[in-house]
Structure 1
Amino acid sequence: MKIKVAIVDDNSFLLKAVEDKLAFFEAIVVKWKAVNGLQCLEKLEENSNLDLILMDVEMPVLGGIEVTEKIKAQYPQIKIVMLTVFDNDENIFNAIKAGADGYLLKDVDPGTLYKGILDTLNGGAAMTPTVALRTLKLLRNPIALNNIATQEKVFLTNREVEVLEQLGKGLSHTKIAENLFLSPSTVRRHIENIYTKLQVHSKLEAVQKAKRNNLI
């Protein structure tokens, strides 16, 4: 019984290196390859008859963590092992949260990669020792875990930051418009954009979240 695998990586050299490692094992067949998360979703539509996907984390167009979440929602039976050169806490935490079944570093030797695939398909979790150690540390330190969870990437323009700062002082839309030499309707539009970006529904929530993310 062959193990059907796909590889997703935007670096052709590293993609080939992973494929070469898998070539040592007759039990594994590489069904297809993709260079980013979007192409991976397209290929899955054509052929989702897979056991496992080896997924890069950092990719253009659609990254590994985002696409893992989408795949797990649509094809929960497919196992996903993240293959990455980075073992930082945020990537590990986000990959696990997205539903990844394992997390290996790309410099892993062929035997360890193969064992990781088998372990994952048997209900375990493929992890190199350094990643396992970092995961344990994260789980033992809930504060660090919370910090990572709340570090959402939010970017506001300079003007939006100015509006939010004035809003935080309790000023009305009219007063903010006067202070920043804007029309009230422009101020309202900026506030709508701020609420959308921060995913909040009130002035208080907006100010609190902006402070938490060091935006103001």
Structure 2
Amino acid sequence: MASEGHRSERLRIVLVEDDEPIRRRLAAILAAWQGAALVAECGTLAEALQAIKAKEFDLLVTDLKLPDGNGIEAIRLLRQTRPDAEAMVISVMTDERIVLDAIEAGAAGYLLKDADSIDLIEAITDVMAGRSPISSRIARVLVRRLSERGDIAAEPAPDKPHLTPREMDILWGIAKGFTYAELAERLNMSRQTVPVHIRNIYRKLQASNRSEAVFEATRLGLIRL
């Protein structure tokens, strides 16, 4: 067991997912990742709460809709008992109230279950680096809520970065959740060229992932969701 204040070299993860096939798929992705160690797999809220109390770990990856409760309760317990650990949601739920409740409870990221293995590992890496990976559809929920509250409109109008027409096409694709392969096919371009354009978009928008890019582009008025 690692001493207090010292995190083991491998990221210790507790996974909470009630759907067994999905849990196995996510567990397999994490097991194949050399940078992580899966210390508990939970299928119910009760199991999750027990794991949070009993295990030493760095990250909680949890679904929300569980057979005996809501994963938000697990996130709240995590914040109370293990403030140094992080929490990330993987769910099919996009209801605005649930999304906001999960983030307010302490979730540092919110992915939809259509994320593939690369997205999952990238998202976990982002969370542990202090960033907040959020699926594009969830980012839209947050942008809409900020707009309703006037938080975006109240800010001074910033200078808009210049994106080329091709970069704007790719930005729209990012906002719609297309993969690199889908973007390449839709825009009739090389699969290897897409990441180059995306890196340029991230640099211009000062974003570190697709969710931040969508959020910034919306805030700046470059796109409307």
Which protein shows a greater Rg? Answer: 1
Using structure 1 for the length normalisation, give the TM-score. Answer: 0.62
Kindly provide the CA deviation profile for residues 173-211 of structure 1, in whole angstroms up to 9, marking residues without a partner as x: xxxxxxxxxxxxxxxxxxxxxxxxxxxxxxxxxxxxxxx
CA contact (8 A) 2:62 2:90 kept: yes
Percent of residue pairs bearing the same amino acid type: 23
Match of 2:106 in 1: 99
Given that 1:68 and 1:100 are in contact with CA atoms closer than 8 Å, whether structure 2 keeps it comes out as: yes
Counterpart in 2 of 1:25?
A: 33
Q: 2:51 aligns with which of 43, 50, 53?
A: 43
d(CA) in 1 for partners of 2:36 and 2:85? 15
User: Structure 1: which amino acid aligns with 2:127?
Assistant: T
Amino acid at match of 1:108: A
Alpha-carbon deviation of 1:18? 1.0
| CA distances 1:18-64 after superposition (whole Å, capped 9, x unpaired) | 112223421111111111222112122221x2110110010122310
Asked whether the 8 Å contact 1:36–1:60 carries over to 2, the reply is yes
Work out the CA distance in 2 between the residues paired with 1:110 and 1:142.
35
- Name the SS of the counterpart of 1:141 in structure 2: helix
Aligned residue for 1:71? 78
1:118 to 110, 114, 125: 125
SS of 1:118's equivalent?
helix
1:1-216 matched pairs, under 5 angstroms: 1-47=9-55, 49-142=56-149
Q: Deviations over 1:136-173 (max 9, x none)?
A: 21122129xxxxxxxxxxxxxxxxxxxxxxxxxxxxxx
TM-score (norm 2): 0.60
State the alpha-carbon separation in 1 of the partners of residues 51 and 85 from structure 2: 14
Deviations 1:72-126 (A, max 9, x none): 1111111110110122212211101111111001110111111110111111112
C-alpha separation between the residues in 2 aligned to 1:93 and 1:119?
A: 20
Amino acid at match of 1:59: L
Contact in 2 for aligned 1:80/1:102 (Cα 8 Å): yes
- The alignment partner of 1:97 has SS state of helix
Whole-angstrom distance in 1 between the partners of 2:26 and 2:54:
23
| Number of residue-to-residue matches in the alignment | 142
SS in 2 for 1:69: helix
Q: 1:44 & 1:128 partners in 2: Cα distance?
A: 25
Indicate if the aligned counterparts of 2:87 and 2:107 stay in contact, CA closer than 8 A: yes
Give the gaps of 5 or more residues in structure 2.
1-8, 151-225
1:36 maps to amino acid = T
What root-mean-square deviation, in Å, do the aligned CA atoms of Structure 1 and Structure 2 show?
A: 1.5
Aligned counterparts of 1:71 and 1:25: Cα–Cα separation in 2: 24
**Which structure has the highest helix share of the two?**
1
Contact residue 52 and residue 77 of structure 2 kept, 8 A: no
